[in-house]
Structure 1
Amino acid sequence: MKPQVFRSKAAWLFGWFWMLFAAWNVWDLTAHGRMPSALIAGAVLGVITALVFVMALRPAVVVEEGGVRVRNVLRNAYVPWNGVDDVSVTNAIVIESGDTTVRCWTPQATARERVRAAGRPPRRPSRRTRPSGRRPRPSAPVPTPTGWPTSSPR
């Protein structure tokens, strides 16, 4: 079985965007930077890049044949399938195994993914809703002479 990796797509894209930005800045600092200011800027860029890697690119939940591997920000956890007692999913995934509880940073599901996982078709706007999502206001009743019908037959 090929391991499946689950992670936040937005964080992963942001992380790689930052890595490209940092690589371009390193090239720019080495090609055009003055020594004292380039070293300070490079150090700040290095610290921020390390934080982005640890918080955006590293966290993942890897489902393997023998169990589940959780890569959080600063630690790894491995829980074999026969040791999994309970899994609860709220805003994070919590895996309980005996006395150990592993909380996963990822993935954050979008509303569309939650609806798809629940097996319901996404809610479509009704014909009576405006593009803004609000229902139109009912029009004021038109005064009619007595005896006339107040609504038209459909």
Structure 2
Amino acid sequence: MPQPVTFRPRGGLILAVIAIVICALGLIGLILSEGTEGLFGWFWPIAAFAWGAWLLYINPCVTVTEGFVEIRNILRTHRVPWGDVDDVESRYALTVMTRDGRRIRAWAAPAPSARQALATRRDEVSRTPGEGDTRRPSDAEGTESGDATAIVRRHLETYRTTGGPGLPGGTTSTWNLWLVAVTVAVVAAALATLAGAAAHG
């Protein structure tokens, strides 16, 4: 059985890692310069910044397996069986259309900016899966939407070529409640810390 393939945007991943490393170094610097008092005074605002970087750029992803494509966004996670996939496009982001008309966009695979789209070469688009008349700069090789869409299209094509059942239905969408709860708690703690610092300042 083929191993699942997970896509995350490279640029966002690098930015998130840099942000988290800076936050970690900042906490270490506070301990060395001000001891535990400085750490407790700024821990939650710094932790909130690091959490936000992880939440926005590392947690969202697109995972493809032999049986389904899973799109994990910030608030919700969608699992679409290949038999329920009607079409795949990349106009605004990687978007999976189900047979009942749902359109599920991936936060992890946004389309390129207008400036990037204008700079896209024809050969960067021509190498990607899809019909020539329908391919656009957001399908281009090297873009987040293009790379993710190519992965999904190739797996969908393999599924259909090997005779997978084209049965509609089975798509599930779940709220990422634990992420919401942690985010609310971390932000509340950071705001309380900043308010306390302002009151004592």
Q: TM-score when scaled to structure 2?
A: 0.52
Figure out how many residues of one structure are paired with residues of the other and give that number: 120
Work out whether residues 57 and 108 of structure 2, in 8 Å CA contact, stay in contact via their aligned partners in 1: no
Structure 1 unaligned regions, length at least 5? 121-154
Work out whether residues 69 and 79 of structure 1, in 8 Å CA contact, stay in contact via their aligned partners in 2: yes
2 CA distance for matches of 1:61 and 1:113?
Answer: 26
Work out whether residues 7 and 60 of structure 1, in 8 Å CA contact, stay in contact via their aligned partners in 2: yes
| Paired AA for residue 21 in structure 2 | L
Of 100, 106, 109, 2:108 maps to: 106
Report the CA distance shift for 1:104/1:116 in structure 2 as closer, same or farther (over 3 A). Answer: same
Work out whether residues 27 and 39 of structure 2, in 8 Å CA contact, stay in contact via their aligned partners in 1: no
Runs of 4+ in 1 over 6 A off after TM superposition: none
| Paired AA for residue 89 in structure 1 | S
Please give the root-mean-square deviation of Cα atoms over the aligned residues, in Å: 2.5
Q: Percent identity?
A: 23
| Paired AA for residue 4 in structure 1 | V
Report the CA distance shift for 1:42/1:92 in structure 2 as closer, same or farther (over 3 A). Answer: same
Report the CA distance shift for 1:88/1:109 in structure 2 as closer, same or farther (over 3 A). Answer: closer
2 CA distance for matches of 1:37 and 1:30?
Answer: 7
Q: TM-score when scaled to structure 1?
A: 0.66
- Name 2:127's counterpart in structure 1: 119
Q: Once the 2 structures are TM-superposed, how far is the Cα of residue 108 of structure 1 from its aligned partner? A: 4.2
Q: How does 1:1-154 map to 2 (within 5 A)?
A: 1-33=2-34, 37-97=38-98, 98-108=100-110, 115-119=123-127
Report the CA distance shift for 1:109/1:14 in structure 2 as closer, same or farther (over 3 A). Answer: same
Deviations 1:112-152 (A, max 9, x none): 698434239xxxxxxxxxxxxxxxxxxxxxxxxxxxxxxxx
